[in-house]
Chains A and B, each alone.
Chain A
Amino acid sequence: MSEEEKFDVIIIGAGPAGSSCAYTLAREGKSVLMIERGDTPGSKNVTGGRFYTYALEMLDSGLYEEAALERKVTHEQIMLLSGDRSISIDYHEPGFNTGGEAPMSYTILRANFDEWLAEKAEEMGAMLACGIRVEELIERDGKIVGVRAGEDEMYADVVVAADGVNSFMAQKAGLIKDIEAHTVGVGVKEVIELPARTIEERFNLKEGEGAARMILGCTEGIHGGGFLYTNQDSISLGCVFMPAKAAERGKTIHEIFQDFKMHPSIHPLLQGGLTVEYGAHLVSEAGYRGIPRKIYREGFLMVGDAAGFVINTGYSIRGIDLAMLSGIAAARAIIDAENTAEVGPQYLKELDEIKIIPAMKAADGFFDVLETPGLYDKMPNLANDVFNNLFTVDGGVPGSIKKDVMRLIKENGLSMWQLIKFGLKGVKSL
């Protein structure tokens, strides 16, 4: 094979994991080829829309200042829907994101963010080939030595699978099987355009500041939840569902999502907006226990969603930052290892050091909390009932709040014992 056809590293996928890996490697002088099936990086990628900035700082300090970001999140919101009612909690900290350090998180649009990040990797010297889908891995003497796309073969010392959830490449490498339905959710999302001023008025935001909202009770009882992020001049609105449960309902996910959009507390936020993007994507839900048993073999590493690095706590979802960290960890391992056999074990060490594995372990309990029966319908309904009780003034003699609450718990088919257990599980997982 000629020099032209061999790289130090080939990275499959130019999402946040792939581009961070390429950036780090190229900066250290490695020859890197990134292969992306989209016509431009991020063109077809779907995400909710919040990004935790520290990951960019880790890639290169100050990088976030020129990044393709939307709004700095200063409003953290939680919303509980039930029927046509809702409870909203808005935690606002104007200084949440100041103090000389990088603001904590931003809303983002992937088409812009991914393209920008891949461009940065190119500036560092990485090669990017877009519009190309890798179809096969090339294996020799038990090692992965290259990739095949169409008629073309290309070789490398290490191939990095950064191809996202349900990694086809990891399947080809024999490291994972086809997905299991209970470990992934299906996310649907729309981007709805509105003038910046309108968004600022509707969400009570200062210019450049944004809101991130997690919504419970919008999934017809199906395990899952909604999210809403304010971008510069659009709103990202979506829902994630566990598909196995959704299949048992009469409605399609799309229909439930459309109903969600029409909710009396949601619709006024979107009114007059124009849907400019609709997308659906899988999202890994299993957390720590969803990480495949092996995430490398000689000549091959898995990073980002391909390796299952997503933390979903129900009130926040972290995938983009972990994707970037794991890309950086992989690059460090490749740079430090003496030979290809050392790369994999070194990668595990780097993942530990960069705190992905410890963070995922720590969040493992959330998986059980989020499995709690009633969490997606009965509990938000109960909360709304309690508020209804609290705010009802009809001239009668108010009952004891405690008694009323006990009655409402019962009416919602729940028991005090269930709620205590849920509370304990919640506390334990923190």
Chain B
Amino acid sequence: MSYIIACYKWVVDEADIRINPDLSIDTKKSKGKISDYDKNAIEAAVQAANILGGKSLGLTFGGPETRLSLKDALSRGPAEGCWISTGEAAKADAAVTAKALAAAIQKISDVSLVFCAEGASDTYARQTAPRIGAILDWPVVTSVSKLDIEGSTLTAVRKLDDCLQTVKVDLPAVVSVLPEINDAPIPGLKAVLAAGKKPVTEIKAEELGIDFSPKTDVTEIKGYLMNRKNIILSEGEAADKVKELAAYLRKEGVL
């Protein structure tokens, strides 16, 4: 039976991130969570597995803290979990991440479809799906808001800036989905309990034989503040105020 894989990322919950007065970022108190849109990718994989008669699998790449993610991910429906475990993940760039995921997908071998979310809720780089597709030399469909599978053909509706594009690809393929693709359900009691019993494979980084050195180094992460100009136009006639406002906006290059 072939695998339908959902790639997901264990990210820092942005609700717990604090920006200090010096704009440095404080994540000391932050907990992890599955990147929000990845929940839709997981649900898409579960649904596709039902249609294709395959097995859904949640795949993640991360450091030791990522172990916590598996129970949560599996309570959302996948039949199996797989975790590429390495501390290297912390400084991985999109290229390394995609290399690791693609290598794991090749290792799992019998894979007919890979789902990613369009972007992760921390970096939203939108690179994972295209890069995995490139490494595997599979078709890639991004920005997918609707999906149909018949036999080994996948029809996807892509949501572009101002139009909808429908494309057809043969499986295997890599698809990145938008959150509107489905309603990711909140797991119920039985699903949560079942998650603890599902098989999880841990792949050690060394087994994949890839180079984890990133080509992009993050040198700094800082918060930013909007610097408001705090100009209030309160004097004079309405018509003059509007004129003045327009002048300011032109000066700022907004108009």
The answer to whether B187 has its CB under 8 Å from any CB of chain A is yes
A149 at the B interface (CB under 8 A): yes
Contacting residues of chain B (25-62) with chain A, CB-CB under 8 angstroms: 29, 31
Question: How distant is A148 from chain B, measured CB to nearest CB, in Å?
Answer: 9
Number of residues of chain B lying within 8 A (CB) of chain A? 10
Across-interface contacts of A150 in B (CB, < 8 A): 188-189
B31 lies within 8 A of A132 (CB): no
**Contact flags B165-191 to A (C-beta < 8 A → 1, else 0):** 000000000000000000000111110
Is A131 touching B186 in the complex (CB atoms < 8 A)?
A: yes
A132 (CB) vs chain B CBs: closest residue: B189
Q: Is the CB of A151 within 8 A of B196?
A: no
The distance from the CB of B15 to the nearest CB of chain A, in whole angstroms, is 11
- Asked whether, in the complex, the Cβ of B193 is within 8 Å of the Cβ of A131, the reply is no
A151 (CB) vs chain B CBs: closest residue = B188
Cα–Cα, bound, A415→B68 (Å): 63
**Contact string, A129-152, partner B, CB cutoff 8 A, digits 1/0?**
111100000000000000001111
Q: Are A40 and B31 in contact (CB under 8 A)?
A: yes
A246 within 8 A of B: no
Contacting residues, chain A, for B136 (C-beta < 8 A): none
Minimum CB–CB distance from B191 to chain A (whole Å) comes to 8
For chain A residues 131-189, which have a beta carbon within 8 Å of chain B? 131-132, 149-152, 154
Contact B31 A129 (CB under 8 A): no
Contact of A132 among B29, B192, B196 (CB under 8 A): B192
Question: How far is A132 from B189 in the complex, measured between Cα atoms in Å?
Answer: 6
Q: Is B188's CB under 8 angstroms from A127's CB?
A: no
In contact, B31 and A149 (Cβ under 8 angstroms) = no
B196: chain A residues at CB < 8 Å are 127
Residues of A within 8 Å of B188, CB to CB, are 132, 149-152
- Of the candidates A4, A127, A129, the one having the most CB atoms from chain B within 10 angstroms of its own CB is A129
Within 8 A of B (CB), among A31-46: 33, 35, 40
- Dominant secondary structure of chain B at its interface with chain A: loop
**B193-229 contacts to A (CB < 8 Å):** 193, 196
Within the assembled complex, what's the spacing in Å between the Cα atoms of A73 and B190? Answer: 43
Contacts of B31 in A (CB 8 A): 40
B192 / chain A contacts, CB cutoff of 8 Å: 129-132
B180 CB to closest chain A CB (Å) equals 23
Q: In the complex, what's the smallest C-beta–C-beta distance from B32 to chain A, in angstroms?
A: 11
Within 110-143 of A, Cβ neighbours of B (below 8 Å) are at 127, 129-132
Residues of B within 8 A of A152 (CB): 188-190
Residues of B within 8 A of A35 (CB): 189
Q: In the complex, what residues of B have CB within 8 A of residue A129's CB?
A: 189, 192-193
Whether B190 contacts A131 by the Cβ 8 Å rule is no
Chain A 299-326 residues near chain B, CB threshold 8 A: none
Which single residue of chain A is at the shortest CB-CB distance from B20?
A274
Cα distance A336–B17 when bound, in Å? 48
CA distance A143 to B187 in the complex (A): 28
Q: What A residues does B189 contact at CB under 8 A?
A: 35, 129, 132, 149-150, 152, 154
Alpha-carbon gap, A40 to B188, bound state (A): 15
Instruction: Mark contacts of A202-213 with chain B using CB atoms, 8 A cut-off: 1 yes-contact digit, 0 otherwise.
Output: 000000000000
Give the shortest distance, in Å, between A8 (CB) and chain B (any CB): 15
A-B contacts, 5 listed (Cβ < 8 Å): A4-B193, A129-B193, A131-B192, A150-B188, A154-B190
Contact surface of A with B, Cβ cutoff 8 Å: 4-5, 33, 35, 40, 127, 129-132, 149-152, 154, 276
- CB within 8 Å of A: which residues of B? 29, 31, 186-190, 192-193, 196
Give the top 10 A-B pairs by smallest Cβ distance, nearest first: A152-B189, A129-B192, A149-B189, A152-B190, A150-B188, A132-B189, A152-B188, A129-B189, A129-B193, A151-B188
